[in-house]
C-alpha cells in the first residue's frame, strides 16, 4: 500500500461518525496524512400529500447551511490537532458522492464509521458502506463504535490479516506490513479452513468440496511463502469463517483486521455478503478492506 497522503472521511454527524472524526485526526497525525472530510445531503422527493407545502430546494439549502456550520466547528478541532484538512458538503446519493470524492481528491484511503445497533446500522451497512466496498478502487478502513475504535499509542500493535490462499499471501499482507512501526508490531496471517459438509451446492452455481489438507499441513504451506520477518506469524483455524475470524480478533486483542475484498464474479459477490460483511459487522476492531490490485488499477484508469 502506498503512503497515505490523503484520507477521505465521510461524516453524517451522528455520535459514531464523530468518533470516526476523532479517530481520523489521530490516524492522520500518526501517518502525517491530510484529511478530506465529506458530508452528503441526500436529495428528497416529497410525498404527494406534502408536495404542495414543502419547498424542497429551500429545505436542501437549509440542510447544507446546517451541515456547513457543523463542518466549521470540526475545522477548528482539526486545526487545534495540527491536522491539515479540507471540508466539503455535497448534495447527492451518499455512496456515489463518496466514490466521486475519493476520485476527485485522489484519496489513498476511505475511512468510515460503523453504527453498531438498530435501523441505522442496517441502512449504513446495507447501502452506503456496502456500495463503497464493492466499487471503491482504494482501501476502506471501517471503524467500530466505542472504546474499541481508539488507536493504540504509536499506531497498530496487533494486526490480523486474513487470506483465502495460504500459498500466495496477497495485497492484504503487503498493506499490513506498511503499518509496522517497530518490533512491537505483531502480524498474524490467518487462514480459516471452512468447516462445510462434504459438498455444498450454492444457488449461484458451482460446488465447493471439503478441504483435503489438515490445519498443520496448511500452516506449513503458509510458512513456506511468508516473508522472513520476526513479527509475522501464521495461524490456521477451521470452522465457519466469519465466526473464527471474529474469535481470533477477540482472543488476540487485535487492533486492526486487514482483509482482501473480492467482488467480480457471482460467487465472490455472494461470499462478500455472507463473510466479509458479517466480519465487518462483528469485528471489535477497525477493519481495513483492500480491493484487488487489478480492480484498483481499472478504477484509476
Has residue 258 been placed in a domain? yes
Under a CB-based contact definition with an 8 Å cutoff, are residues 257 and 283 in contact? yes
**Is the pTM of the predicted complex or chain greater than 0.85?**
no
As given in the structure block, the three cell numbers for residue 50 are: 406534502
Residues of the domain holding 230: 158-300
Domain match, 138 and 177 both:
no
Instruction: Determine, yes or no, domain membership for 196.
Output: yes
Which DSSP letter does residue 42 get?
P
Beta bridge partners of 201: 207
Domain final position from 96, 113, 144: 144
Question: Alpha helices, DSSP H only, in the chain?
Answer: 15-31, 56-80, 94-104, 118-123, 130-135, 171-177, 215-225, 241-252, 266-271, 277-282, 293-300
Q: Is there a single domain that holds both residue 92 and residue 180? A: no
220 in a structural domain: yes
Q: φ and ψ at 165, to 5 degrees?
A: -125, 90
Instruction: Provide φ and ψ at 56, rounded to 5°.
Output: -60, -40
In a shared domain, residues 276 and 186: yes
**Structural domains in the chain (count):** 2
Environment class of residue 119 by beta-carbon count within 10 Å: exposed (0-12), middle (13-18) or buried (19+)? exposed
CA 170, 165, 129, 180 torsion: positive or negative? negative
Quote the CA–CA distance of 25 and 12 in Å, as a whole number.
16
Indicate whether 265 and 139 sit together in one domain. no
Report pLDDT for 165: 72
Residue 1: inside a domain: no
Task: Provide the β-strand partners of residue 209.
Answer: 199
Clarify whether residues 53 and 185 are in a common domain. no
Q: How much is the pLDDT for 270?
A: 46
pLDDT at position 245? 95
Half-sphere exposure of 131 (CA within 13 A, CB side): 13
Pairing of the two strands 186-194 and 109-113:
unpaired
User: What is residue 143's predicted lDDT score, i.e. its pLDDT?
Assistant: 87
| Residue at 152 is within a domain | no
For residues 216 and 232, give the distance between their C-alpha atoms in angstroms, rounded to a whole number.
17
Q: What is the pLDDT of residue 155?
A: 81
Domain boundary among 89, 111, 144: 144
Residue pair 190/162 in contact by the 8 Å Cβ criterion? yes
Any idea what the Cα angle at residue 157 is, between residues 155 and 161, rounded to 5°? 110
Output DSSP code: residue 162: E
Q: What is the CATH number of the domain that holds 130?
A: 3.40.50.620
Q: Which of 83, 117, 144 is the last residue of a domain?
A: 144
Alpha carbon separation from 53 to 8, 42, 50, 58, 61 (Å, rounded): 37, 19, 5, 12, 16
Is residue 122 located within the same domain as residue 93? yes
In a domain? residue 151:
no
Residues 162 and 237 occupy one common structural domain: yes
Residues 76 and 181 in one domain: no
183 with 294, same domain? yes
11: which 3 cell numbers?
461524516
> What are 239's strand-pairing partners?
194
Assess whether 231 and 262 both reside in one domain: yes
| Per-residue confidence (pLDDT) for residue 1, from 0 to 100 | 57
What sign for the dihedral angle of Cα 75, 78, 80, 83?
negative
Identify whether residues 133 and 171 lie together within a single domain: no
In a domain, 149, yes or no: no
Q: Give the pairing of strands 199-201 and 207-209.
A: antiparallel
242 in any annotated domain:
yes
DSSP character at residue 18: H
* Same domain flag for 248 and 278: yes
Please state the φ and ψ torsions of residue 2, each to the nearest 5 degrees: -70, 170
Q: Rounded to the nearest 5 degrees, what angle is found at the Cα of 105, between the Cα atoms of 132 and 42?
A: 50
Spans of the chain below 70 pLDDT: 1-2, 44-54, 115-127, 146-154, 166-170, 196-212, 262-274, 292-301
Amino acid at each position: 500500500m502506498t503512503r497515505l497522503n490523503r484520507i477521505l472521511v465521510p461524516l453524517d454527524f451522528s455520535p459514531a461518525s464523530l468518533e470516526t472524526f476523532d479517530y481520523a485526526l489521530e490516524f492522520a497525525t500518526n501517518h502525517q496524512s491530510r484529511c478530506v472530510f465529506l458530508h452528503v445531503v441526500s436529495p428528497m422527493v416529497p410525498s404527494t400529500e406534502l408536495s404542495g407545502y414543502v419547498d424542497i430546494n429551500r429545505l436542501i439549502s437549509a440542510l447544507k447551511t446546517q451541515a456547513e456550520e457543523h463542518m466549521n466547528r470540526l475545522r477548528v478541532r482539526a486545526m487545534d490537532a495540527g491536522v491539515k484538512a479540507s471540508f466539503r458538503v455535497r448534495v447527492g446519493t451518499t455512496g456515489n458522492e463518496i466514490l466521486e470524492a475519493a476520485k476527485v481528491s485522489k484519496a489513498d484511503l476511505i475511512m468510515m464509521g460503523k453504527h453498531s445497533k438498530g435501523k441505522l446500522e442496517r441502512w449504513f451497512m446495507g447501502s452506503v458502506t456496502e456500495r463503497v466496498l464493492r466499487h471503491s478502487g482504494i482501501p476502506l478502513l471501517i471503524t467500530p463504535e466505542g472504546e474499541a475504535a481508539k488507536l493504540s499509542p504509536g499506531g497498530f500493535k496487533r494486526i490480523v490479516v486474513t487470506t483465502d490462499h495460504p500459498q500466495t499471501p496477497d495485497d492484504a499482507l503487503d498493506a499490513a506490513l506498511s503499518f509496522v512501526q517497530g518490533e512491537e508490531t505483531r502480524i498474524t496471517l490467518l487462514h480459516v479452513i471452512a468447516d462445510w459438509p462434504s459438498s455444498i451446492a450454492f444457488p449461484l452455481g458451482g460446488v465447493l468440496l471439503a478441504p483435503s489438507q489438515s490445519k498443520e499441513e496448511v500452516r506449513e504451506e503458509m510458512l513456506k511463502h511468508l516473508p522472513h520477518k520476526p513479527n509475522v506469524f501464521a495461524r490456521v483455524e477451521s470452522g465457519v469463517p466469519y465466526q473464527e475470524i471474529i474469535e481470533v480478533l477477540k482472543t488476540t486483542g487485535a487492533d486492526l483486521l486487514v482483509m482482501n475484498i473480492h467482488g467480480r464474479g457471482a460467487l465472490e459477490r455472494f461470499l462478500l455478503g455472507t463473510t466479509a460483511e458479517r466480519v465487518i459487522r462483528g469485528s471489535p476492531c477497525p477493519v481495513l478492506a483492500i480491493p484487488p490490485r487489478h480492480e484498483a488499477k481499472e478504477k484509476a484508469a
